[in-house]
Amino acid sequence: MKRFPEKRVAITGAASGLGLSLARIFAENGWKVALADVQDDAGEAAARELSARTDAFYRHVDVRKTEDIQQWHRDILTRWDGLDILINNAGVATHGPIDTAPEEDWEWVIDINLMGVVRGCKVFVPTFKQQGSGHIINVASMAGLLHSPEMGSYNATKAGVVAVSETLLGELAPYNTGVSVVCPGFFKTNLAKTARSPDEGIQELIEKLFATSRLSADDIARKVYKGVEKREFFILPHRFYHALWLLKRYVPGVYLAQMKTLGRKVAAKRDKLIGREAKA
């Protein structure tokens, strides 16, 4: 990180989960931290915690509102006269088969997961171009590379984040601005709490899947920090999912056959879950 002597980082979705873990790892390494979220109590508490070791502050930022991001950007420039790393981390989760998932859920997740990243990049990129330096970290998901059944809207947003990131990699290279895209698989987080699905009880199932991971949000954050140090574009924290992604790239027929099998299993579990609740 020697290329960023001022050590200034801004993080969306920083009040909890991976965002908070990222804020902590950067603060531990001497970075000034600008936190943004819509969870004001948790955000203010995080800022107070980090202020004990570094210059940190919190702002209410809804990534669906360009004006919120613009005001946050102005506050950062006023306070620090620039920025070195922007982390577009804010996100939500959705689930549902294509025929039953409401269009409103599609619009909601696209507005936050994909357009939130677009808005963040659009507001901050002019600063990086003017400085002639900077780095953008977009938090996607393995769902952006591996598209599991019944996760269409979520998969689409995360694949979009990967596409935007790859586009920016070439677009910002002339301005000495790097780009990384983070694609974690399941890990222990609170994403399930706000997840939307047409199927009752799916939140419990998602939480169980998250709980199976051996990696915590702190583990992911450390891997992200090291990945940026090495100027990696793809940061893939989970070895298993990385191997599955390689299978998709090099032996697509085998991978697609596995997706069909997974689809049958997922449908069976969902039908069983719905049937059980109907009887109850």
What is the domain-level CATH number for residue 133?
A: 3.40.50.720
For 11-25, what is the mean pLDDT?
Answer: 97
Q: Work out the percent of the chain whose per-residue pLDDT is above 90.
A: 74
**CA distance linking residue 50 with residue 29, whole number of Å:** 12
In a domain, 116, yes or no: yes
Helices 115-131 and 152-172: angle between axes, nearest 10 degrees? 10
Residues in Cβ contact with 187 at an 8 Å cutoff, skipping those fewer than 6 apart: 18, 210, 213, 215, 216, 217, 219, 220, 237, 238
Model confidence at 245, pLDDT cuts 50, 70, 90, reads: confident
Model confidence at 255, pLDDT cuts 50, 70, 90, reads: confident
Q: How many domains is the chain partitioned into structurally?
A: 1
**CA distance linking residue 31 with residue 28, whole number of Å:** 7
State the pLDDT at residue 69: 98
In a domain, 247, yes or no: no
**CA distance linking residue 63 with residue 90, whole number of Å:** 8
**CA distance linking residue 4 with residue 267, whole number of Å:** 49
State the pLDDT at residue 204: 63
In a domain, 53, yes or no: yes
pTM summary value: 0.89
For 179-192, what is the mean pLDDT?
Answer: 80
In a domain, 167, yes or no: yes
Binning the chain into helix, strand and coil, the percentages to the nearest 5 are 60, 15, 30
Given a contact cutoff of 8 angstroms between Cβ atoms, the answer to whether 16 and 40 are in contact is no
How far is Cα of residue 135 from the mean position of the Cα atoms in its chain?
16
Q: CA torsion sign, 17 to 23 to 25 to 28?
A: negative
Domain of 175 in residue numbering reads as 8-241
R_g of the chain computed on alpha carbons: 19
In a domain, 149, yes or no: yes
For 110-114, what is the mean pLDDT?
Answer: 98
Given a contact cutoff of 8 angstroms between Cβ atoms, the answer to whether 160 and 183 are in contact is no
pLDDT tens digits, 85-104: 999 999 999 988 999 899 99
pLDDT tens digits, 193-236: 666 776 666 666 666 555 566 788 999 999 999 999 999 999 99
In a domain, 138, yes or no: yes
Nearest to 207 by CA among 184, 190, 221: 190
Given a contact cutoff of 8 angstroms between Cβ atoms, the answer to whether 61 and 37 are in contact is yes
In a domain, 257, yes or no: no
Residue 15 has pLDDT above 90, yes or no: yes
**CA distance linking residue 186 with residue 3, whole number of Å:** 32
Helix H segments across 140-200?
Answer: 152-172
Q: Which two tokens stand for residue 193?
A: 């709490």
Given a contact cutoff of 8 angstroms between Cβ atoms, the answer to whether 151 and 143 are in contact is yes
Given a contact cutoff of 8 angstroms between Cβ atoms, the answer to whether 6 and 84 are in contact is yes
Is residue 154 annotated as part of the catalytic site, yes or no? yes
Segment among 42-51, 112-121, 147-156 with least mean pLDDT: 147-156
Q: Which of 58, 154, 225, 241 is catalytic?
A: 154
Residue 57, beta-bridge partner list: 34
Model confidence at 45, pLDDT cuts 50, 70, 90, reads: very high
Pick the residue with more confidence: 170 or 187?
Answer: 170
In a domain, 248, yes or no: no
State the pLDDT at residue 187: 65
For 21-33, what is the mean pLDDT?
Answer: 98
For 264-275, what is the mean pLDDT?
Answer: 74
How far is Cα of residue 90 from the mean position of the Cα atoms in its chain?
6
Residue 152 has pLDDT above 50, yes or no: yes
Residue 10, beta-bridge partner list: 34, 86
